[in-house]
Amino acid sequence: MQSIIVIGKSQGERHKQALALCEGIDGFDIRVIESEKAIGIDEIRTLRQTILLTPLKGVRRAFVIHATEGMTIQAQNAFLKTLEEPPVHALLIITASSKDIFLPTVLSRCHIRLIKQEDQSEKIIKLDQSNEFILSLMSKDLKKSLKIAQDFGKTKQETLAFTEQSMQSLQVFLHEGWGKRDRISLISCVDALKNLQDAYVLLSTTNVNPRFILEAVLLRLPQTN
């Protein structure tokens, strides 16, 4: 997915994360868009035209949009098609302090990256040490699935962080860690990723009990032998 939303309280951290995502892209091909007010439809219309231009020095261009003061509904609606199908050479990164400023239709078209509190991410990082995390996530063991939901479904923020980490782990597994082909099929991984993405959007846009959502998605995941 070439459209990413970076969420974090610190503008400096959001900018740092955005630039990290631009790794490998020449500085001449990175454009940063900022505004003292909410990003409006005029800025988006201009950006949509600029995105079509080919890179100056490399093979890719990155557009970092700091929505510090938000983005109008009209601008978000005008940006939907571009977010869903950006040019192959374009990487779109939007940063904001909260995902609540975005329409569900925008969130569903982007990969969400949360700049997590350190204490909330520590046990997630420890859990995801290897491809065994994927095997554990997609286990047939009902008690194990419910235990994961209990451990990581205590708060909305923690559940969002866990769900994002799970999506990232599956994406890495699909692209790099294909060492368990006999136990996890490609279709199973793709289905699992879709279920997690749906859960993330639901968590982001509703006030449903996060543990219930996590339990539901874990029980729906394709299961390994």
SS3 of 129-160: CCCHHHHHHCCCCHHHHHHHHHHHCCCHHHHH
Same domain, 82 and 169: no
Which region, left, alpha or beta, applies to residue 154 given φ > 0 means left and ψ of -120 to 50 means alpha? alpha
Same domain, 20 and 105: yes
- Give the structural domain span for 28: 3-114
User: How many other C-beta atoms lie within 10 A of the C-beta of residue 62?
Assistant: 26
Q: Does residue 75 belong to any structural domain of this protein? A: yes
Q: Does residue 225 belong to any structural domain of this protein? A: no
Residues of the chain below pLDDT 70: 1, 117-137, 139-140, 172-185, 222-225
Alpha carbons within 13 A on the beta-carbon side of 152: 28
Domain stops at, among 97, 114, 131:
114
Same domain, 142 and 106: no
Intra-chain end-to-end CA distance of the chain, in Å: 30
* Whole-number Å distance between alpha carbons of 30 and 56: 10
The dihedral through the CA atoms of 58, 50, 10, 214 has a sign that is negative
Domain stops at, among 114, 132, 164:
114
Same domain, 53 and 156: no
- Can you give the pLDDT at residue 224? 60
* Whole-number Å distance between alpha carbons of 120 and 73: 32
Tokens of 220: 């729906």
* Whole-number Å distance between alpha carbons of 138 and 80: 32
- Can you give the pLDDT at residue 120? 46
Same domain, 105 and 130: no
- Can you give the pLDDT at residue 129? 47
CATH code for the domain in which residue 52 is found = 3.40.50.300
Same domain, 83 and 160: no
Task: Look at strands 30-33 and 61-66 and give their pairing.
Answer: parallel
- Please tell me the total count of domains within the chain: 2
- Say whether pTM exceeds 0.85: no
- Can you give the pLDDT at residue 160? 84
* Whole-number Å distance between alpha carbons of 125 and 131: 13
- Can you give the pLDDT at residue 183? 52
